[in-house]
Amino acid sequence: MQVILENHQEYQSIAEILRLFFLEVGKLESGVILVADSEYADIILHSFIECEVSVEQMRSQADQTEISVQSRIVGSDLSIATKVVPSALRREIKRQTYFLLSKLTNVHYPWGSLTGVRPTQIVYRSFLENHHDKNLTIQDLIEDWYVVPDKAEIGLKTAVTEAKILAALQSELPMLYIGVPFCTTRCSYCSFITQDAINMGTKLDIYVQALLQEITEISDYFKRINKPFQAIYMGGGTPTVLSDQGFTKVITAIKEQVPQIENCEITIEAGRPDSITPAKLAAIKTIAEARICINPQTMHDQTLQIIGRNHSVEDVYRAYELARANDFSSINMDLILGLPGETGEDFLYSLDKLLELDPESITIHTMALKRSAFLEQQYAAQYLKLRFPDRELSNTFSIAIQKLAKQGYQPYYLYRQKNTRGGLENIGFTKTGYACVYNVGMMSDQISIVGLGSGSSSKRVDGDRLERIYNPKDLTNYVERLAEIIQRKINFFSES
Ligand code: SF4
């Protein structure tokens, strides 16, 4: 197949859509993208806009000039055309390309032409444009964006809840992320820059010292400018892999040094059940009402072994009971849909087990296919095709949503990753009153995030402007350059 671009250079946008349908997508050469798929060898897709538009025009919301966009399969009846303002051009080119390829191949993704990380942002915009009419919004999502009906429905439900949570936040106050990029062992599907704690030895203590220094100095700065944090999230990796002593020091620093609003939400990831100890739970308990996350990912021992989690289902029960015995009243648990070797039934069994435990929130992730020798070996020849639509997984997700709703769990945040199995999404579900506002604020790009620790990112939001800076991923680099890293962060947040 050849894709000819005329009057525009939206190669990346079109390639992103092509990759949904074809395994090998070439580079842009003289305005043409080549796709290696013998079945469609003679096909030519023509993507055309009536005149060239500058990047500045495409960024400007003020320019209301209507520009004609047209896409067609040359020599066939398949074509689509419309007029849009410059700021909507990229989205429209992608939408039209999706429409043609979906017709041509008869492949339909659950989220249709919505390929971004945050589909609920487009859903909510449509809801506002439709004057809060839910039926019209769902109709638009299905007819204009080619979203399947149950995703349109869950997308809208989640978007409305996200908007309510965001409206209750204070846009001028930041949120704090504290990262501990270590785990007991590395999960075979992990793409994160985590390191096995077991091999770190004394480096863990050095890391804790550096983190404490960053917490202290950044806290002092935000106290000075009188901007307390409105939510704090300690994640990773798995923060609970630190020694009892090291972990307790960090928790004490959060409690005693970090400026925070009254009733500030605090979440501590205690992801690996085998890393949870009575001493760590006691330390967390010194922070009133902290949320914790205990993440089984699956309730099948065999799968846990396959994915290298190095803990058992029994460990999950033990950690959960220990947390309840210590009066934790807001527990989140994560599951992953589409793990190697698991059927839809296996996943629903895990969900049933979690529902019996009755945590306050449950997050369902869809397995993301990162390039890794392990995953390619597990899935063999199927590997590259696993991101294509998958009816069994889609049905399983729908049944899961129904089961969760029946027990009082509603979706409150949703995001998508690249190359997930079946093109499916991740959704956080919660019982009333237990939504994690950090998750919503962080995903919204409307709240500034201050990230501490190796590999963390900080985000400064100033109206429509958004800028990021990153702490080094390399541990030695982080520790050795700490003073400079802290000063750079203070300067970065001073600019707003
Ligand atoms: S627990 Fe999370 S961060 Fe740690 S290895 Fe597993 S997937 Fe990676």
What pLDDT sits at residue 31?
Answer: 85
Q: Whose CA is nearest to atom 5 of ligand 1?
A: 186
Q: Whose CA is nearest to atom 2 of ligand 1?
A: 237
Question: What is the spatial distance between Cα 328 and Cα 322, in angstroms, rounded to a whole number?
Answer: 9
| Ligand 1 midpoint to CA 183 (Å) | 6
**Parallel, antiparallel, or unpaired for β 67-73 and 79-84?**
antiparallel
Percent of the chain scoring above 70 in pLDDT? 96
pLDDT in tens, 22-54: 988 888 888 899 998 889 999 999 999 999 888
* Atom of ligand 1 minimally distant from the CA of 272: 1
Contact 325, 364 (CB under 8 A): no
* Atom of ligand 1 minimally distant from the CA of 183: 4
- DSSP single-letter state for residue 35: E
What would the mean pLDDT of 408-435 be, rounded to a whole number? 96
Residue ranges and CATH numbers for the domains of the chain are 1-107 (3.30.160), 166-490 (3.80.30.20)
Nearest-Å Rg of the Cα atoms of the chain is: 24
| Ligand 1 midpoint to CA 243 (Å) | 18
Q: Whose CA is nearest to atom 6 of ligand 1?
A: 187
What pLDDT sits at residue 58?
Answer: 87
**Higher per-residue pLDDT: 462 or 399:** 399
What would the mean pLDDT of 388-397 be, rounded to a whole number? 95
Q: Is the pLDDT of residue 374 over 80?
A: no
| Ligand 1 midpoint to CA 169 (Å) | 30
What would the mean pLDDT of 276-299 be, rounded to a whole number? 94
Confidence class of residue 399 from pLDDT cuts 50, 70 and 90? very high
DSSP string, 224-283: HTT--EEEEEEEES-GGGS-HHHHHHHHHHHHHHS-EEEEEEEEEE--SGGG--HHHHHH
| Ligand 1 midpoint to CA 184 (Å) | 9
Confidence class of residue 193 from pLDDT cuts 50, 70 and 90? low
Question: What is the spatial distance between Cα 92 and Cα 345, in angstroms, rounded to a whole number?
Answer: 38
Confidence class of residue 459 from pLDDT cuts 50, 70 and 90? very high
* Atom of ligand 1 minimally distant from the CA of 189: 7
| Ligand 1 midpoint to CA 108 (Å) | 31
Amino acid symbol at 271: G
Confidence class of residue 175 from pLDDT cuts 50, 70 and 90? very high
What would the mean pLDDT of 273-282 be, rounded to a whole number? 93
- DSSP single-letter state for residue 473: S
pLDDT in tens, 138-161: 999 999 999 999 999 999 999 999
Q: To test the ligand 1 pocket, which listed residue (182, 184, 188, 190) has its Cβ within 8 A of the most ligand atoms?
A: 190
Q: Which residues line ligand 1 (CB under 6 A)?
A: 183, 186-187, 190, 192, 194, 236-238, 271-272
Q: Whose CA is nearest to atom 3 of ligand 1?
A: 237
Q: To test the ligand 1 pocket, which listed residue (194, 274, 336) has its Cβ within 8 A of the most ligand atoms?
A: 194
